[in-house]
Structure 1
Protein backbone atom coordinates (compact mmCIF):
# COMPACT_ATOMS: atom_id res chain seq x y z
CA UNK A 1 0.00 0.00 0.00
CA UNK A 2 1.31 3.43 -0.86
CA UNK A 3 2.15 5.93 1.85
CA UNK A 4 -0.46 8.35 0.48
CA UNK A 5 -3.25 5.80 0.75
CA UNK A 6 -2.23 5.01 4.34
CA UNK A 7 -2.52 8.70 5.20
CA UNK A 8 -5.89 8.89 3.45
CA UNK A 9 -7.12 5.79 5.33
CA UNK A 10 -5.94 7.29 8.63
CA UNK A 11 -7.66 10.60 7.83
CA UNK A 12 -10.90 8.73 7.11
CA UNK A 13 -10.69 6.95 10.48
CA UNK A 14 -9.98 10.25 12.27
CA UNK A 15 -13.03 11.78 10.59
CA UNK A 16 -15.24 8.82 11.58
CA UNK A 17 -14.25 9.27 15.23
CA UNK A 18 -14.95 13.01 15.08
CA UNK A 19 -18.28 12.47 13.30
CA UNK A 20 -19.60 10.43 16.23
CA UNK A 21 -18.14 12.76 18.86
CA UNK A 22 -15.35 10.51 20.14
CA UNK A 23 -11.96 11.93 21.04
CA UNK A 24 -9.18 10.91 18.66
CA UNK A 25 -6.55 8.87 20.52
CA UNK A 26 -3.73 6.61 19.37
CA UNK A 27 -5.37 3.40 20.65
CA UNK A 28 -8.76 4.27 19.09
CA UNK A 29 -7.09 5.06 15.78
CA UNK A 30 -5.13 1.82 15.85
CA UNK A 31 -8.17 -0.35 16.63
CA UNK A 32 -10.30 1.29 13.95
CA UNK A 33 -7.50 1.05 11.39
CA UNK A 34 -7.16 -2.67 12.14
CA UNK A 35 -10.88 -3.12 11.53
CA UNK A 36 -10.76 -0.88 8.45
CA UNK A 37 -8.43 -3.45 6.85
CA UNK A 38 -11.56 -5.59 6.46
CA UNK A 39 -10.80 -8.50 8.77
CA UNK A 40 -13.31 -9.81 11.29
CA UNK A 41 -11.25 -9.81 14.48
CA UNK A 42 -11.93 -11.00 18.01
CA UNK A 43 -10.83 -8.96 21.03
CA UNK A 44 -7.68 -11.01 21.59
CA UNK A 45 -6.55 -10.54 17.97
CA UNK A 46 -7.29 -6.82 18.08
CA UNK A 47 -5.40 -6.45 21.36
CA UNK A 48 -2.37 -8.43 20.16
CA UNK A 49 -2.08 -6.56 16.85
CA UNK A 50 -2.61 -3.14 18.39
CA UNK A 51 -0.21 -3.89 21.26
CA UNK A 52 2.49 -4.85 18.73
CA UNK A 53 2.30 -1.32 17.29
CA UNK A 54 1.49 0.70 20.42
CA UNK A 55 3.59 -1.15 22.98
CA UNK A 56 0.96 -1.36 25.67
CA UNK A 57 -2.77 -1.99 25.56
CA UNK A 58 -5.05 -4.15 27.70
CA UNK A 59 -7.91 -6.35 26.56
CA UNK A 60 -10.14 -4.38 28.94
CA UNK A 61 -9.27 -1.14 27.13
CA UNK A 62 -10.13 -2.80 23.80
CA UNK A 63 -13.46 -4.04 25.20
CA UNK A 64 -14.28 -0.50 26.33
CA UNK A 65 -13.33 0.99 22.96
CA UNK A 66 -15.42 -1.57 21.09
CA UNK A 67 -18.38 -0.89 23.39
CA UNK A 68 -18.15 2.85 22.61
CA UNK A 69 -17.70 2.12 18.90
CA UNK A 70 -20.82 -0.09 18.88
CA UNK A 71 -22.86 2.49 20.84
CA UNK A 72 -21.95 5.15 18.27
CA UNK A 73 -22.55 2.88 15.27
CA UNK A 74 -18.91 2.72 14.15
CA UNK A 75 -18.49 -1.01 14.70
CA UNK A 76 -20.68 -4.10 14.52
CA UNK A 77 -20.32 -7.31 16.49
CA UNK A 78 -20.81 -10.71 14.87
CA UNK A 79 -21.51 -13.61 17.22
CA UNK A 80 -19.97 -17.00 16.40
CA UNK A 81 -21.59 -19.82 18.42
CA UNK A 82 -18.98 -21.55 20.58
CA UNK A 83 -16.28 -19.02 19.64
CA UNK A 84 -15.40 -15.45 20.60
CA UNK A 85 -17.41 -12.77 18.81
CA UNK A 86 -15.67 -10.83 16.05
CA UNK A 87 -15.93 -7.17 15.18
CA UNK A 88 -15.99 -5.20 11.93
CA UNK A 89 -16.45 -1.61 10.85
CA UNK A 90 -20.08 -0.74 10.28
CA UNK A 91 -20.81 0.26 6.73
CA UNK A 92 -22.78 -0.98 3.79
CA UNK A 93 -25.26 -3.64 4.93
CA UNK A 94 -24.11 -7.13 4.03
CA UNK A 95 -24.37 -10.73 5.15
CA UNK A 96 -21.79 -13.26 6.29
CA UNK A 97 -20.40 -16.71 5.59
CA UNK A 98 -19.19 -18.58 8.68
CA UNK A 99 -16.80 -21.53 8.51
CA UNK A 100 -18.11 -24.22 10.83
CA UNK A 101 -14.61 -25.65 11.22
CA UNK A 102 -12.24 -22.71 11.89
CA UNK A 103 -14.73 -19.88 12.60
CA UNK A 104 -13.55 -17.66 9.73
CA UNK A 105 -16.06 -14.98 8.79
CA UNK A 106 -16.34 -13.49 5.31
CA UNK A 107 -18.61 -10.72 4.06
CA UNK A 108 -21.21 -11.73 1.48
CA UNK A 109 -23.06 -9.39 -0.84
CA UNK A 110 -26.46 -11.02 -1.23
CA UNK A 111 -29.99 -9.76 -1.59
CA UNK A 112 -31.83 -9.62 1.71
CA UNK A 113 -35.00 -11.70 1.67
CA UNK A 114 -38.25 -10.05 2.72
CA UNK A 115 -39.53 -11.16 6.11
CA UNK A 116 -42.33 -13.72 5.85
CA UNK A 117 -45.72 -12.42 6.93
CA UNK A 118 -47.12 -15.75 8.09
CA UNK A 119 -46.49 -16.47 11.77
CA UNK A 120 -45.17 -12.98 12.54
CA UNK A 121 -48.43 -11.14 13.21
CA UNK A 122 -47.77 -8.00 15.23
CA UNK A 123 -44.00 -8.09 14.69
CA UNK A 124 -42.13 -5.06 13.39
CA UNK A 125 -38.86 -6.22 11.86
CA UNK A 126 -35.86 -3.92 12.36
CA UNK A 127 -33.09 -6.01 10.85
CA UNK A 128 -32.44 -9.13 8.79
CA UNK A 129 -29.24 -11.12 9.06
CA UNK A 130 -28.42 -13.90 6.63
CA UNK A 131 -25.60 -16.27 7.58
CA UNK A 132 -24.21 -18.90 5.23
CA UNK A 133 -22.70 -21.82 7.15
CA UNK A 134 -20.12 -24.13 5.60
CA UNK A 135 -16.40 -24.70 5.20
CA UNK A 136 -14.00 -22.03 4.01
CA UNK A 137 -11.53 -22.81 1.21
CA UNK A 138 -8.69 -23.37 3.73
CA UNK A 139 -10.68 -25.98 5.68
CA UNK A 140 -12.08 -27.86 2.69
Structure 2
Protein backbone atom coordinates (compact mmCIF):
# COMPACT_ATOMS: atom_id res chain seq x y z
CA UNK A 1 0.00 0.00 0.00
CA UNK A 2 1.46 3.36 -1.01
CA UNK A 3 1.92 6.04 1.60
CA UNK A 4 2.33 9.70 0.78
CA UNK A 5 4.82 11.33 3.09
CA UNK A 6 4.47 14.75 4.68
CA UNK A 7 6.11 16.43 1.72
CA UNK A 8 3.66 18.53 -0.26
CA UNK A 9 6.11 19.53 -2.99
CA UNK A 10 4.87 19.27 -6.55
CA UNK A 11 7.65 16.86 -7.59
CA UNK A 12 6.96 14.59 -4.60
CA UNK A 13 3.25 14.47 -5.46
CA UNK A 14 4.03 13.73 -9.12
CA UNK A 15 6.31 10.89 -8.05
CA UNK A 16 3.66 9.43 -5.72
CA UNK A 17 1.15 9.34 -8.57
CA UNK A 18 3.69 7.58 -10.78
CA UNK A 19 4.67 5.17 -7.99
CA UNK A 20 1.12 3.81 -7.80
CA UNK A 21 0.70 3.66 -11.57
CA UNK A 22 -1.62 6.63 -12.01
CA UNK A 23 -1.13 8.94 -14.96
CA UNK A 24 -0.13 12.45 -13.91
CA UNK A 25 -2.82 14.91 -14.99
CA UNK A 26 -3.40 18.50 -13.93
CA UNK A 27 -6.58 17.71 -12.00
CA UNK A 28 -5.08 14.66 -10.23
CA UNK A 29 -2.02 16.66 -9.30
CA UNK A 30 -4.07 19.54 -7.87
CA UNK A 31 -6.43 17.31 -5.90
CA UNK A 32 -3.57 15.31 -4.43
CA UNK A 33 -1.73 18.52 -3.53
CA UNK A 34 -4.87 19.80 -1.76
CA UNK A 35 -4.97 16.58 0.27
CA UNK A 36 -1.21 16.69 0.93
CA UNK A 37 -1.59 20.19 2.40
CA UNK A 38 -3.24 18.53 5.38
CA UNK A 39 -6.49 18.28 7.21
CA UNK A 40 -9.68 16.33 6.68
CA UNK A 41 -11.73 17.65 3.81
CA UNK A 42 -15.05 16.82 2.23
CA UNK A 43 -15.45 16.48 -1.52
CA UNK A 44 -16.93 19.96 -1.90
CA UNK A 45 -14.03 21.60 -0.03
CA UNK A 46 -11.49 19.60 -2.05
CA UNK A 47 -13.24 20.55 -5.28
CA UNK A 48 -13.35 24.25 -4.36
CA UNK A 49 -9.67 24.34 -3.36
CA UNK A 50 -8.51 22.56 -6.52
CA UNK A 51 -10.88 24.61 -8.69
CA UNK A 52 -9.19 27.84 -7.50
CA UNK A 53 -6.04 26.78 -9.34
CA UNK A 54 -7.58 24.85 -12.23
CA UNK A 55 -10.50 27.09 -13.10
CA UNK A 56 -12.97 24.27 -13.71
CA UNK A 57 -13.42 20.97 -11.95
CA UNK A 58 -16.57 19.00 -11.15
CA UNK A 59 -17.36 17.24 -7.91
CA UNK A 60 -17.94 14.06 -9.94
CA UNK A 61 -14.37 14.25 -11.27
CA UNK A 62 -13.08 14.67 -7.71
CA UNK A 63 -15.12 11.65 -6.53
CA UNK A 64 -13.54 9.59 -9.31
CA UNK A 65 -10.02 10.76 -8.44
CA UNK A 66 -10.61 10.05 -4.75
CA UNK A 67 -11.79 6.55 -5.64
CA UNK A 68 -8.50 5.95 -7.46
CA UNK A 69 -6.50 7.50 -4.60
CA UNK A 70 -8.28 5.24 -2.09
CA UNK A 71 -7.75 2.13 -4.23
CA UNK A 72 -4.03 2.85 -4.58
CA UNK A 73 -3.47 3.83 -0.94
CA UNK A 74 -2.74 7.50 -1.62
CA UNK A 75 -5.72 8.74 0.41
CA UNK A 76 -7.81 7.61 3.37
CA UNK A 77 -11.50 8.16 4.07
CA UNK A 78 -13.10 8.87 7.44
CA UNK A 79 -16.86 8.37 7.72
CA UNK A 80 -18.72 10.74 10.03
CA UNK A 81 -22.15 9.51 11.17
CA UNK A 82 -24.85 11.75 9.71
CA UNK A 83 -22.33 13.89 7.80
CA UNK A 84 -20.43 13.54 4.53
CA UNK A 85 -17.18 11.58 4.68
CA UNK A 86 -13.89 13.45 4.81
CA UNK A 87 -10.62 12.52 3.14
CA UNK A 88 -6.99 12.91 4.04
CA UNK A 89 -3.65 11.98 2.59
CA UNK A 90 -2.67 8.44 3.62
CA UNK A 91 0.08 8.24 6.19
CA UNK A 92 1.15 6.50 9.33
CA UNK A 93 -1.63 4.68 11.19
CA UNK A 94 -3.47 6.97 13.58
CA UNK A 95 -6.81 7.43 15.32
CA UNK A 96 -9.31 10.27 15.08
CA UNK A 97 -11.20 12.69 17.31
CA UNK A 98 -14.66 13.69 16.06
CA UNK A 99 -16.60 16.71 17.28
CA UNK A 100 -20.19 15.56 17.72
CA UNK A 101 -21.50 19.10 17.20
CA UNK A 102 -19.73 20.49 14.12
CA UNK A 103 -18.17 17.34 12.60
CA UNK A 104 -14.56 18.54 12.86
CA UNK A 105 -12.03 15.70 12.64
CA UNK A 106 -8.50 15.74 14.03
CA UNK A 107 -5.77 13.12 13.97
CA UNK A 108 -4.83 11.54 17.29
CA UNK A 109 -1.75 9.53 18.06
CA UNK A 110 -2.99 6.80 20.37
CA UNK A 111 -2.35 3.12 20.82
CA UNK A 112 -5.25 0.88 19.96
CA UNK A 113 -5.79 -1.64 22.76
CA UNK A 114 -4.69 -5.15 21.85
CA UNK A 115 -7.33 -6.73 24.11
CA UNK A 116 -9.72 -8.89 22.13
CA UNK A 117 -13.27 -8.86 23.43
CA UNK A 118 -15.22 -11.92 24.44
CA UNK A 119 -16.45 -13.86 21.44
CA UNK A 120 -13.54 -12.85 19.21
CA UNK A 121 -11.04 -15.44 20.39
CA UNK A 122 -11.16 -17.28 17.06
CA UNK A 123 -11.00 -14.13 14.94
CA UNK A 124 -7.85 -12.90 13.24
CA UNK A 125 -8.09 -9.14 13.73
CA UNK A 126 -6.20 -7.16 11.08
CA UNK A 127 -6.75 -3.67 12.41
CA UNK A 128 -8.82 -1.67 14.87
CA UNK A 129 -9.94 1.92 14.96
CA UNK A 130 -10.68 4.04 17.99
CA UNK A 131 -12.65 7.27 17.51
CA UNK A 132 -12.69 9.80 20.31
CA UNK A 133 -16.03 11.66 20.28
CA UNK A 134 -16.70 14.92 22.04
CA UNK A 135 -16.64 18.68 21.48
CA UNK A 136 -13.83 20.46 19.65
CA UNK A 137 -12.29 23.60 21.22
CA UNK A 138 -14.39 25.91 19.01
CA UNK A 139 -17.64 24.22 19.99
CA UNK A 140 -16.62 24.22 23.66
CA UNK A 141 -16.13 28.00 23.52
CA UNK A 142 -19.60 28.50 22.05
CA UNK A 143 -21.33 25.86 24.23
CA UNK A 144 -22.33 28.48 26.80
CA UNK A 145 -23.89 30.80 24.19
Q: Give the aligned CA root-mean-square deviation in angstroms.
A: 1.4
Deviations 1:30-55 (A, max 9, x none): 11111111110010111111111110
1:35-114 superposed matches below 5 A: 35-114=35-114
**Count of equivalent residues:** 134
Given the two structures, how large is their TM-score scaled by the length of structure 2?
0.88
Report what 1:26 is aligned to: 26
Distance 2:59 2:126 in 1: 31
Aligned partners of 1:8 and 1:42: how far apart in 2? Answer: 19
Gaps spanning 5+ residues in structure 2: where?
1-6, 141-145
Secondary structure of the structure 1 residue equivalent to 2:9: helix
1:3 aligns with none
How far apart are the structure 2 equivalents of 1:9 and 1:134?
34
Q: Which has the higher contact order (CA 8 A, sep 6+)?
A: 2
Distance 1:119 1:8, change over 3 A: closer
Task: Indicate how the Cα distance of structure 1 residues 9 and 115 shifts in structure 2: closer, same or farther if over 3 A, else same.
Answer: farther
Give, in whole Å, the separation in 2 of the partners of 1:115 and 1:8: 37
Tell me the SS of whatever aligns to 2:86.
strand
Q: Which runs of 5+ in 1 are unaligned?
A: 1-6
Question: Shift in Å at residue 122 of structure 1?
Answer: 2.6
Distance in 2, Cα, partners of 1:12 & 1:130: 31
Other structure's SS at 1:31 match:
helix
The answer (yes or no) to whether the contact 2:8–2:36 under 8 Å persists in 1 is no
Q: Deviations for 1:82-123, whole angstroms, at most 9, x for unmatched residues?
A: 000000111100000000011000000111211415211332
Distance 1:54 1:88 in 2: 20
Deviation at 1:67, TM superposition (A): 0.3
